[in-house]
A and B are shown apart, each in its own frame.
Chain A
Amino acid sequence: MEKSSPDKDRHVLIAADKTESSKRAVLYVADFLGGVPGISLTLLYIIPEPPEDYFASEAERREWVEKDEEEARRMLENYAAILVQAGFPEEKVKTLVGPCDLPSIAECILKSQEELDCCTIVVGRRGISKKEEFLFSSTSSRLLHAAKNCAVWVIE
């Protein structure tokens, strides 16, 4: 992992969804890193668009995506406010909402990590049963297994 230089911030990616575990992740970062210089943050939300034919029409799909995106933007703005209050300069806290054409959320997060050149990914762990883990896997587990050239913080 590249060491940070005095001119270059360490870029931390907080991957959020609409669960309480994401809020815990944000609060942890605020508490742990708030006020520490040389850190910039991106709050990332990947729109979890359901598979084709979930929607009866293209109009219904667009409405679903717009609503989800709107809710996500509001959520990330609230999280950004928490981080700013914790001591991060406003210009160093960015939000990013978008769809992804990769098969899993974890892959989308890793793609963003690479594109944004983040050294650390922070993600909340929801706490799922073994059955759910078996059938659906979990984003945090996937990130832990697949992440390269970055650290992964999983917040319980």
Chain B
Amino acid sequence: MIVAEISRAEIRELIVLRVGASRAPKKLRVITDMTDFFGVDYDDVALLGGEPYFIRGNEREGRFGIEEQPKFWVKRAIDLRTGELKILKLVFHERFSARVGGIVFEFMRSPRKEANILRLVRGHPNFMQGFAVEDRAGNVIRVIDHIPGRKLHEVVPELGDSHEGYFYSHFPALFEDYIGLVRAIRFLHMHMSKHGDIRRDHLIRERESGLWRWIDFDLNYVHRENFFGYDLFGLGNVLAYITGRGDVTTKELKEHNPRLFEQILEEDLNIIFGYRVMNLRKVYPYIPLALNRVLLHFSQGANAFYDTTDQLLDDLEEARSKLLNA
């Protein structure tokens, strides 16, 4: 499809319309090749598929215990035609090994994977929305709708005054949402796709709709025999997080409840992150057995692991029915 070129004059007009004349840059830089993402800067205009995006800065993220760092390949931008805030994800051919709980993983950034998933999940309420477009150099740029809202780890700690209060008043609805989110991942898996980076800060609750959406699926991992393994591990961690109203760690227990700490065995701990307690019923005895059993599948004491989201969902449905009947 041939897209009519927008002129520099039109771009300048749109910038003034969106941010006002005083904030319009004196010198306009229009970029059509995003290969050098360090060189795409504040006040630049990215021209993608004939559409202009006004760059407003870089996103930031923490990873593997390192505090938030700027992600120079991820830019905030204003769609100059519509005024909507977008996230532009540029191409960064990153391939790295990382230790996750002592296990070495091979990860790689996968723009094509994310582009494919965006196509697959178009209109799905539990995923971020966007599309992919190639720049002039053939880089696959993802243009993502910004989601105004808060991440899971920002929402959960503020729910309820105590764990018990949270568990009875807020957890049932959150658990219901969580099951929906697992179904969303199942949808990906059924189409032989992985999220690749399931974690609590990759879930945003959209302010207006209240919908939870998965974000950031551009990371891929070498999966060896189990295509879904790392995704399932991520889902287990999220479940433990929402059930515990945060991480319940051995350090915390030792400090605040040494008698309880003495009762925690190695088999009660997360199979990968050995400082996190998965046998949460030992800490919060009102957690139903059926729910606790799901958590224990991710513990060092587990004899069987979930291979698929279907298996996890079966057990979650059982846990939900016990929760409703409690």
A101 to B, closest residue via Cβ: B192
Q: Which of A18-68 contact B (CB under 8 A)?
A: 48, 50-54, 56
Does residue B281 face the partner (Cβ distance < 8 Å to A)? no
- Measured in the bound complex, the distance between the Cα atoms of B221 and A155 in whole Å is 29
CB of A139 within 8 A of CB of B225, answer yes
Q: Which of A54, A131, A136 contacts B225 (CB under 8 A)?
A: A136
- Measured in the bound complex, the distance between the Cα atoms of B115 and A53 in whole Å is 12
Q: Mark A117-155, 1 if CB is under 8 A from B, else 0.
A: 000000000000111111111110010000000000000
**Chain A residues with Cβ under 8 A from B108's Cβ?**
50-51, 53-54
Q: Which of B95, B112, B223, B298 contacts A136 (CB under 8 A)?
A: B223
CB of A103 within 8 A of CB of B300, answer no
CB of B272 within 8 A of CB of A135, answer yes
CB of B271 within 8 A of CB of A130, answer yes
Q: Which of A51, A54, A137 contacts B229 (CB under 8 A)?
A: A137
CB of B103 within 8 A of CB of A132, answer yes
**Chain A residues with Cβ under 8 A from B100's Cβ?**
135
Does residue B10 face the partner (Cβ distance < 8 Å to A)? no
Q: Which of A90-107 contact B (CB under 8 A)?
A: 103-106
Beyond A51-B222, A54-B222, whether A134 also contacts B227 by CB under 8 A is: no
Q: Which of B208-233 contact A (CB under 8 A)?
A: 220-227, 229-230, 233
For the A-B complex, the count of residue pairs with Cβ-Cβ distances under 8 Å equals 75
Does residue B305 face the partner (Cβ distance < 8 Å to A)? yes
**Chain B residues with Cβ under 8 A from A53's Cβ?**
93, 108-113, 220
CB of A134 within 8 A of CB of B271, answer yes
B44 → chain A closest CB, angstroms:
25
Chain B at the A interface: mostly helix, strand, loop or mixed? loop
- Measured in the bound complex, the distance between the Cα atoms of B271 and A132 in whole Å is 10
CB of B103 within 8 A of CB of A50, answer no
- Measured in the bound complex, the distance between the Cα atoms of B307 and A106 in whole Å is 14
CB of B222 within 8 A of CB of A50, answer yes
**Chain B residues with Cβ under 8 A from A133's Cβ?**
305
**Chain B residues with Cβ under 8 A from A132's Cβ?**
103
CB of A137 within 8 A of CB of B101, answer no
Beyond A51-B108, A134-B302, whether A103 also contacts B192 by CB under 8 A is: yes
- Measured in the bound complex, the distance between the Cα atoms of B143 and A28 in whole Å is 56
Q: Which of B76-130 contact A (CB under 8 A)?
A: 93, 95, 100-103, 106, 108-113
CB of A135 within 8 A of CB of B230, answer yes
A52 → chain B closest CB, angstroms:
6
- Measured in the bound complex, the distance between the Cα atoms of B100 and A86 in whole Å is 44
B267 → chain A closest CB, angstroms:
11
- Measured in the bound complex, the distance between the Cα atoms of B85 and A54 in whole Å is 31
B229 to A, closest residue via Cβ: A135
A48 → chain B closest CB, angstroms:
8
Interface residue ranges, A against B (CB under 8 Å): 48, 50-54, 56, 103-106, 129-139, 142
Interface residue ranges, B against A (CB under 8 Å): 93, 95, 100-103, 106, 108-113, 192, 220-227, 229-230, 233, 271-272, 298, 300, 302, 305, 307
**Which 4 A-B residue pairs are closest in the complex by CB-CB distance?**
A53-B110, A137-B226, A136-B224, A103-B227
Given A51-B220, A54-B108, output 14 extra A-B contacts at Cβ < 8 Å: A48-B224, A51-B223, A52-B220, A53-B109, A53-B113, A104-B227, A130-B300, A132-B103, A133-B305, A134-B302, A135-B103, A135-B229, A135-B272, A137-B305
